[in-house]
Amino acid sequence: MLGRVLNTHQQWLCRRLADCGYVVTRQVAVPDTAPAIQSSVREALDRATLVIVTGGLGPTSDDLTRDLIAQLLGKRLRLDDAVLNHIKKRFAARNLPMPKNNEVQAQVPEGALVLANPNGTAPGLAMEVGSGVRGFVSGTPQTSRRLSQKPRAQTPDARWLIMLPGPPRELRPMFDGQVVPLLQREFPLDAPFVCRTLRTSGLAESLVQEKIGAPLGKWEAQGLEVGYCARVGQVDVRLSARGAEAEQVVREAAAVVQQPFGAQIYGYDDEEIETVVVRLLTERRETLALAESCTGGCIAHWVTNVPGASAVFLGGLVTYSNEAKQKFLGVRAETLAAHGAVSEAVAREMAEGARRETGADYALAVTGVAGPGGGTKDKPVGTVFVALADASGTTVERRLNSYERETFKQLTAQQALEKLRRRLISP
Amino acid sequence: MLGRVLNTHQQWLCRRLADCGYVVTRQVAVPDTAPAIQSSVREALDRATLVIVTGGLGPTSDDLTRDLIAQLLGKRLRLDDAVLNHIKKRFAARNLPMPKNNEVQAQVPEGALVLANPNGTAPGLAMEVGSGVRGFVSGTPQTSRRLSQKPRAQTPDARWLIMLPGPPRELRPMFDGQVVPLLQREFPLDAPFVCRTLRTSGLAESLVQEKIGAPLGKWEAQGLEVGYCARVGQVDVRLSARGAEAEQVVREAAAVVQQPFGAQIYGYDDEEIETVVVRLLTERRETLALAESCTGGCIAHWVTNVPGASAVFLGGLVTYSNEAKQKFLGVRAETLAAHGAVSEAVAREMAEGARRETGADYALAVTGVAGPGGGTKDKPVGTVFVALADASGTTVERRLNSYERETFKQLTAQQALEKLRRRLISP
């Protein structure tokens, strides 16, 4: 609540739950104080069949969640020897003694399932909260109908409370490996659920809806749900449906989206543009080099986030200075003098130089004005040239990406990789 | 709620509000449905003096917020000609007709202040919600005491509801330029508020608290609040206080943290390691080059996110392949054959090559096993060598960063820049 840490759990957990067919009805963040934590958990248990709490299981004095929830549910904490041994072993493996503080992480509320944490010290905890807290749970959970028509739980108003450790590298494998199987057992879906996201590049959100909104109406009448998510340079269209016909409804609706926007759809579901490009290059056994000026390594960073990128990515030259452009890419001093570093001619020489020097099949180059300084009347902040060189020649596009520095870099990286993708799929 | 978009508003707004001395008591996300939006806004107005709503002001059919809040507050919407003209002009500037859909963005609830949006179509809207909705507001807001002792509003239970557009590049300047002045006028602080964050690198959270927790107790008795925020490789210590003595309390507490951890404190408040490094290089009029293998351009991307980096950053070589290491950095084939690409010797030759080829004062080089593949018994996934070359020689550190690929890259980038920072501040 102080803005020191970016919360990535909401997106990650919501996507995982949505893809399993569960509907998330609310996400809440509160400060590390007893009243805030207890009242928000109490309200959530009143509202939903499943409550997932993240964080606050650490060893420091502001990690209060375990204690406060046990207190709220009237459960005693016991020291779990297996958990304590696990924590001691983790410290021993690093030749460190276990600080006394960490012992609190081995405290487990009575009746809780322990979710092992191979990536950290605090275990996850899962508790069925049912008839035992009847006096406490005040209402009928509003979402039980959506989470499951047939809860397997012993009591009709039973629900689950799951506490997960805060660090993403601990939470994520624990969720996938231990929480999802628990949910599938306790909250089996009552009907098939299908969802598909089509990711478009280079289109405005209002245009996307204007083209496909009306045609999709027919399937919405059959239970299709349509969602639009816009980011800079990208619009996602998410199609989902439940029931026996879900597969067919989503398939037919996807065809309606593909009809006007086929070429602009760069990927499906979780696919990022860099994942698609690495996959296409891998399939074609072709290689890539990069020459980046204004994006400053952003494209190389994205590409190398993809496991297996080393098979297709030969190297990147982040040539911020004119000297580096000349030395590593062979850009000519006369070209720089005649056209300036931000120009079609320099972008072309950068791409051709990167391809020549690395021997890659394709080379992308970008040069532009990221800002905030450096703009001119002819080439204002946001001006960028994107070049692609391959065996058939070199093409250059000029764009105006008038955004602040980081957005500028990301949008330019997206456009450059999209340019390569279109080349790779063209006949 | 479907996990398609990462919510960065919570962190950004919470930090801005916290730094202005306001306490955020809850953050809630709900799906784009009328009952969810209306009930969450109603609950928030019951709970707090200030409610900020983000998103849902776009032109598509799932952008319901403006309508639903007007309805909830019993306000009629009117078409605002100035806003409509602004929207039409934005489209005209791009030689596009305004889609009919966008007209809805010019609808303004009666009595609302319009917050101009120079970076998009939807304006922000600010409404005082007071006696006019007395029948609706059910309780005394619990946080009015903290937000302000002396609200300037006309009625004692008056509060403000502010709607902001979802895109960060629209929301952020609108908040800084128009919302902060509104808050300072309507909710003046009753006492000075001071906060300072000390950012440490390379320390475990439990160790940090073990060393400074007890010594800080004396100042906590004087109203100091202490918060710990841990990320991979980093722990932030946030110190804050209110009242006439706040400045002194925070200054003395900061000295208590600096005493054991001076060298490990890389920055203060919002400073990132790359900002600090660019600042130190700029002050010293020195230059940097990078040679990245396993980080794949991440360090260059970070450094070039800092405005003004071009004055100190000469270039980066993302040498993923052995051929690129030889060609661009002059790493010797014999060294690669004898020690392997992930080795102290190759890291050393990469750093020295980057420095020699670019003429930079400092060159950082990293080579390691990012995974998930490529690990061996001697060099498991996560092994990395970080080298720093300068006029006085070259030093290399070996680390084991056993995390998944993206975390590995980020932690390694942090460690490499921290190595440079310590060199820059050493006598």
The pLDDT tens digits of the residues spanning B76-122 come to 999 999 999 999 998 888 777 888 888 889 999 999 999 999 988 99
* Distance (Å, whole) CA A334 – CA A205: 43
Q: Residue B131: what pLDDT?
A: 45
Confidence of residue A25 (pLDDT cuts 50, 70, 90): very high
* Distance (Å, whole) CA A104 – CA A102: 5
> Residue A367 forms beta bridges with which residues?
A385
CB atoms within 10 A of CB B321: 20
Cβ separation B29–A30 shorter than 8 A: no
Contacts of B364 (CB under 8 A, 6+ apart): B288, B289, B290, B291, B299, B351, B354, B386, B387, B388, B416, B417, B419, B420
Question: What percent of chain A has pLDDT above 70?
Answer: 94
Chain A neighbors of B324, CB-CB under 8 A: 314-315, 358
Q: Report yes or no: B49 and B139 within 8 Å, Cβ to Cβ.
A: no
Cβ separation B167–A309 shorter than 8 A: no
The nearest alpha carbon in chain A to B306 belongs to A405
Chain B neighbors of A373, CB-CB under 8 A: 307-308
The pLDDT tens digits of the residues spanning A372-389 come to 888 999 999 999 999 999
pLDDT at B410 over 80: yes
Confidence of residue B155 (pLDDT cuts 50, 70, 90): low
The nearest alpha carbon in chain A to B406 belongs to A305
Nearest Cα residue to A294 out of A354, A378, A368, A239: A368
Encoded amino acid at A246, one letter: A
Q: Residue A279: what pLDDT?
A: 97
B339: tokens are: 């020690």
B416: tokens are: 């490499």
* Distance (Å, whole) CA B106 – CA B57: 10
What does the DSSP assignment read for B311-371? GTEEEEEE--SHHHHHHHH---HHHHHHH-SSSHHHHHHHHHHHHHHHT-SEEEEEEE--S
pLDDT at A412 over 80: yes
Q: Residue A371: what pLDDT?
A: 83
pLDDT at A169 over 50: yes
Encoded amino acid at A400, one letter: L
Across A1-20, average pLDDT: 89
Chain B neighbors of A10, CB-CB under 8 A: 3, 7, 29
pLDDT at A153 over 60: no
Q: Residue A48: what pLDDT?
A: 93
* Distance (Å, whole) CA A414 – CA A410: 6
User: Which of A2, A8, A64, A200 is the best mutation test for B, with the most CBs of B within 10 A?
Assistant: A2
Q: Residue A144: what pLDDT?
A: 31
Cβ separation B25–A31 shorter than 8 A: yes
Averaged confidence pLDDT in chain A: 90
pLDDT at A314 over 50: yes
Most confident of B8-17, B65-74, B387-396: B387-396
* Distance (Å, whole) CA B76 – CA B67: 9
Q: Residue A155: what pLDDT?
A: 53
User: What does the CA dihedral A414, A419, A422, A427 come to, rounded to 10 degrees?
Assistant: -160
E-strand spans in A264-382? 265-268, 288-292, 313-318, 362-368
pLDDT at A154 over 70: no
pLDDT at A150 over 80: no
**ipTM value for the complex:** 0.82
The sign of the CA dihedral B207, B220, B195, B8 is positive
CA distance readout (Å), B409 to A96, A238, B347, B395? 25, 31, 16, 20
Chain B neighbors of A101, CB-CB under 8 A: 206, 209-210
Cβ separation B406–A209 shorter than 8 A: no
The pLDDT tens digits of the residues spanning B296-341 come to 999 999 999 999 999 999 999 999 899 999 999 999 999 999 999 9
Contacts across the A-B interface (CB distance below 8 Å):
303
Q: Residue B228: what pLDDT?
A: 85
Alpha-carbon distance A7 to nearest alpha carbon in chain B (angstroms): 7
Q: Residue B268: what pLDDT?
A: 94
Alpha-carbon distance A194 to nearest alpha carbon in chain B (angstroms): 13
Can you give the pTM of this predicted structure? Answer: 0.83
The pLDDT tens digits of the residues spanning A67-114 come to 999 999 999 999 999 999 999 998 888 777 888 888 889 999 999 999
Q: Residue B350: what pLDDT?
A: 98
pLDDT at B351 over 70: yes
Q: Residue A133: what pLDDT?
A: 44
Q: Residue B233: what pLDDT?
A: 84
Q: Residue A156: what pLDDT?
A: 58
Q: Residue A380: what pLDDT?
A: 93
Q: Residue B324: what pLDDT?
A: 95
Across B148-155, average pLDDT: 44
Alpha-carbon distance A134 to nearest alpha carbon in chain B (angstroms): 24
Chain B neighbors of A319, CB-CB under 8 A: 315
Nearest Cα residue to A364 out of A270, A261, A274: A274
Which DSSP state fits B245?
A: T
Nearest Cα residue to A317 out of A292, A299, A298, A294: A292
E-strand spans in A75-155? 77-79, 107-109, 113-115, 124-129
Contacts of B51 (CB under 8 A, 6+ apart): B41, B44, B45, B159, B160, B161, B162
A220: tokens are: 């919405």
A203 φ, ψ (degrees, to nearest 5): -120, 150
Cβ separation A29–B10 shorter than 8 A: yes
The nearest alpha carbon in chain A to B308 belongs to A373
Encoded amino acid at B103, one letter: E
pLDDT at B147 over 60: no
B400 φ, ψ (degrees, to nearest 5): -125, 100
Spacing of C-alpha B137 from chain mean position: 34
Chain B neighbors of A169, CB-CB under 8 A: 232, 403-404, 407
Q: Residue B148: what pLDDT?
A: 37
* Distance (Å, whole) CA B213 – CA B218: 10
Question: What totals of helices (H) and strands (E) does chain A contain, helices first?
Answer: 15, 16
CB atoms within 10 A of CB A385: 26
pLDDT at B135 over 60: no
What does the DSSP assignment read for A321-334? SHHHHHHHH---HH
**Of residues B131 and B26, which shows the higher confidence score?**
B26
Q: Residue B78: what pLDDT?
A: 94
B48: tokens are: 């707090």
